[in-house]
Structure 1
Amino acid sequence: MAERLGKHILVNAFNMNSIGHINHGQWVHPRDTSVNYKRLDYWTDLAKTLERGLFDAVFLADILGVYDVYGAGIDVTAREAVQLPVNDPLVLVSAMASVTRHLGFGVTVNVNNEAPYTFARRISTLDHLTDGRIGWNIVTGYLDSAARAVGRSDQIRHDLRYDQADEYLEVLYKLWEGSWEEGAVRGDRASRVYADPARIHPVHHHGQFYQVDGYHLSEPSRQRTPVLFQAGTSGRGQVFAARHAECVFISVPDKAAARAASRAVRAAVAAAGRNPSDVRILAGIAVIADHSEAGAHEKLAEYRAASSPEAGLAHYSASVGIDFARFGLDDPIPFGQSNAIQSAAKIAESRGYTKRALLDQLALGGRYPIAVGTPVQVADELEAWVREGEIDGFNLTRIVTPESYTDFADLVVPELQTRGSYKTAYGEGSLRHRIFGQGDRLPATHTAQGFRIGGSLLGAAE
């Protein structure tokens, strides 16, 4: 066994309010229950399992639109339930929070499809109801199908989406951090003053994308601003993450790529005037564990038999904006500048992926690296990723649900705990405090500081 890691690995359960998420085709596996995603007990049972396994949070992905690039339609997408159908992730939170005390919730909402004023209230409401367990995964969207569905002719240009997202966050900081002062809520029955109007301020924002004149409708929640997750690792996405993100999600094929991405993120955070230690970096991974190595590989074989590599390719086609159905197995693929996920296309181009290579990589229906073996072997691999990849933890995707999560909780977690690499109990406090150990609110070094009570930035947009 290698030297002790010296810190606790962060682990989120990566999931989606849908049948298929990352590892496509597994809905046909006899032990998979994902077709029950429409039932409330499916989600409350999952929440109890994750809390038993001391997961930090359930990270709920989301998309607006459909994957219609592959074959110029939704044939594979619909047949294999490739994130279609997909339901709203936020409505799950209250139910899951009601059966847990500590589990956090990272919910994905696209900044380009909801007004910041109404979104601010929804998140504040959930932060109140969960007593400070809410995080928000900030996405700008990349699907042309989503743009068309909400009335635009095509998706906003990649870098302009981040310009708009920057302004969206400024509006939110003004609402969450700058509209209600600390102490504005008095709850004084004797004097009949619930909230002091002199300590509640209107937000006047007049910018390129948003016009807001109004008070935040919610009183301050425990965190005020939710824990901010973000997954952009393109050039412009990284600039955005350096300014705003607290937890950065990276999708990388190996430890070397993780190390390069982690160093780039932390350098960008430092260049933005923030402390690199104020950011946690999480990599996507799949885990297949069993009491024996043979048993783990039997599961792997089962999962491969159930998977749909073509469904994974349909997902990937939308990610990079290329219709792989048009190419032969060994044809060269023209990976160029696209309006989709630029970091995914850059990795594919640098490795010279062909359709054959991609289908081989998608043997489990998804592109994430896999740790397979006994609890000892899986723990060794996860610790190696943290050391060599210079990351802080993982978004653990499901292959077969709930088996992937129960196996991790029952087999891998105890092994990590014996090594001191995983917590043995939840800490107290908000989601932010449990991740960073520095209180419930954003630190003074964060960009939001400039939008807090009393600052001139409550007025016109910069």
Structure 2
Amino acid sequence: MVNNGFRTVETTRGPFDPGGQPDLETGQPLQLGFFGWNVRAGMMASKAVLTDEARLADYWVWERSSKLIKLAEEIGFDYQVPFGRWIGGGGATNFNGAALDFLASAAATAPITEKMGVISTAHITYGFHPLHIAKFGATIDHISNGRWGLNIVSGYQAQERAAFGRLDPLDHDEAYDMAEEFVVLMKHLWHEKERFNFEGDYYQSYGAIVAPGPSRSPRPVLMNAGGSPKGIDFAVRNVDVVFTLAPSLEGYRDKVAQIRDLSTKYNRKVKIATMSWALIEATDELAAERLAWYQDEVDLEAVYGYYQALAGIDTFGAGDSSAKGDDYEGYPGLPREFVETFALGMTSPRLCGSPETVAEKIRALHEVGIESLFINFSDPQKGLHQMQDDVLPILRKMGIRN
């Protein structure tokens, strides 16, 4: 106990929402996020991107991505959501090998947009202190006039943790205990008006304060992705948007029910989100042809590099060494089903087909309880225009977009 004259706060674990939770409503039955615009090749590990790198892989370059973000806002997307990467998967495509930082890019995005939410990411086990993120975030929230939000990542890649000097094994459950303490201290920093002390098991802070605080009242929106029972429980207890993945619509229905039961238990309101990968063409046949081309050109070396680095990840379950199925020849331990689901879309639902088919797939996700859909496009420039011209009019007729 440090005796510095400042009050030591008592709460170190959640649920903890001083002042309540932020309003999550945008007026849309289904919210849309423009996802993964900040990384090379997005969610597509295919050598097909090498045929037009500027368009299919290097749209993250600010000269291009800033225009895409402004187009996404014009179309009506509710959020821009970057993908949190520090090290790519390699291979001929250098998959995800370049990525704009998700804090700095949110600060850059704020002045060129007016309504769109700007999201950042914090990998809490890489050594950041909650005071760092609370201060950075409050500043971006100030710049954006209350539009900033934060995605909390508890685990993720062993190779990325090693790059930050973290070679110690990361216990799955302990990572979520750390994340909970991280979030609670951050909420204190955004709420307290006088300097205070915080003494937790993983984080300490003495005489801390963040001024100015966030513009959004009572605080910015928080998000987390978790697939395990521990991860989902952490998310419902501590954040506002619970990001989840499932292998089927029925799987999503079960996840939604689980999250809803927990939100009732903890008396908290959460929105349920997922990500998707979109390949939209005039007809289903044309979309199938292009998908086949992407599949034929899958960058196995990049997928293998990514797979090997996934130890400890919770969202996709890809680090599970018990995964069944045939290995790809020359890539020991790489399950065939992982390649087939990860290389194009990172195991997320594929929005592949005509505008009508894509709209129906979006409706199906919404009907099982998905309230926010983050979309990454195989060709963002083309995909955004297809959404504007062809898909969104159908979604409006369906009543899931206004």
**What TM bracket, shorter-length normalisation?**
0.7 to 0.9
Which residue pairs with 2:238 in the alignment? Answer: 244
Question: Are residues 1:341 and 2:314 paired?
Answer: yes
Identify the residue that residue 9 of structure 1 maps to in structure 2. Answer: 30
> How far apart are the structure 2 equivalents of 1:343 and 1:297?
25
Deviation at 1:60, TM superposition (A): 0.9
- Pair 1:413–1:137, CA change in 2 (3 A): same
1:212 corresponds to which of 205, 209, 213: 205
Q: CA RMSD in A?
A: 2.6
Q: Work out whether 1:386 is the aligned partner of 2:366.
A: yes
Structure 2 SS opposite 1:79: coil
Matched with 1:413 is 392
Q: Distance in 2 between matches of 1:269 and 1:240?
A: 11
Query: How has the CA–CA distance of structure 1 residues 345 and 151 changed in structure 2, closer, same or farther, with 3 Å as cutoff?
Result: closer
The answer to whether structure 1 residue 139 and structure 2 residue 125 are counterparts is no
2:277/2:378 contact within 8 Å kept: yes
Deviations 1:57-107 (A, max 9, x none): 11112134555xxxxxxxxx2532222233312212233222221111121
| Structure 1 position 156 matched with structure 2 position 156 | no
2:61 & 2:293 partners in 1: Cα distance?
26
Aligned length: 365
* SS of structure 1 residue aligned to 2:252: helix
1:364-443 to 2 correspondences below 5 Å: 364=344, 366-387=346-367, 389-423=368-402
TM-score by length of 2: 0.82
CA distance in structure 2 between the aligned counterparts of 1:309 and 1:258, rounded to whole angstroms: 28
Give the unaligned 5+ runs of structure 1: 1-5, 68-76, 180-200, 322-338, 424-462
Q: How does 1:218-233 map to 2 (within 5 A)?
A: 218-233=212-227
Task: Kindly state the Cα deviation for residue 283 of structure 1 after the two structures are TM-superposed.
Answer: 1.9
How many Å separate the matches in 2 of 1:132 and 1:407?
Answer: 30
Give the superposition deviation at 1:242.
1.4
Q: Compute the TM-score of the two structures, normalised by the length of structure 1.
A: 0.72
Q: Which moved more, 1:240-249 or 1:32-41?
A: 32-41
Deviations 1:119-163 (A, max 9, x none): 111101111111111111100133222222222323431111111
Relative to 1, partners in 2 of residues 1:356 and 1:206: Cα closer, same or farther, differing over 3 Å? closer
Question: How far, CA to CA, are the matches of 1:420 and 1:242 in structure 2?
Answer: 28
- 2:85 maps to 1:94: no
Alignment match of 1:19 (pick from 24, 40, 46): 40
Matched residue, 1:125:
139
Cα distance in 1 between the residues matched to 2:320 and 2:247: 9
Q: Residue deviations 1:30-52, cap 9 Å, x none?
A: 37525545632222101111012
The answer as to 2:282 corresponding to 1:288 is: no
SS at match of 2:167: coil
Distance change (3 Å), C-alpha of 1:136 and 1:305: same
Query: Gapped runs of 5+ residues in structure 2?
Result: 1-26, 327-334
**Residues 3-44 of structure 1: per-residue CA shift (max 9 Å, x gap):** xxx972211111153213322125314375255456322221
Contact in 1 for aligned 2:181/2:203 (Cα 8 Å): yes
Paired with 1:205 and 1:215, the residues of 2 have a C-alpha distance of 11
Other-structure match for 2:191: 177
**3-state secondary structure, aligned to 2:39:** coil
Is the CA contact (8 Å cut-off) linking 2:134 and 2:186 kept in structure 1? yes
Deviations 1:174-201 (A, max 9, x none): 110122xxxxxxxxxxxxxxxxxxxxx1
Judge conservation of contact 1:31–1:401 (CA < 8 Å) in 2: no
Say which SS state the counterpart of residue 221 (structure 1) adopts.
coil
SS of residue in 1 equivalent to 2:309: helix
| CA shift for structure 1 position 342 | 7.0
In the other structure, the counterpart of 1:73 is none
User: CA contact under 8 A between 2:37 and 2:59: conserved in structure 1?
Assistant: no
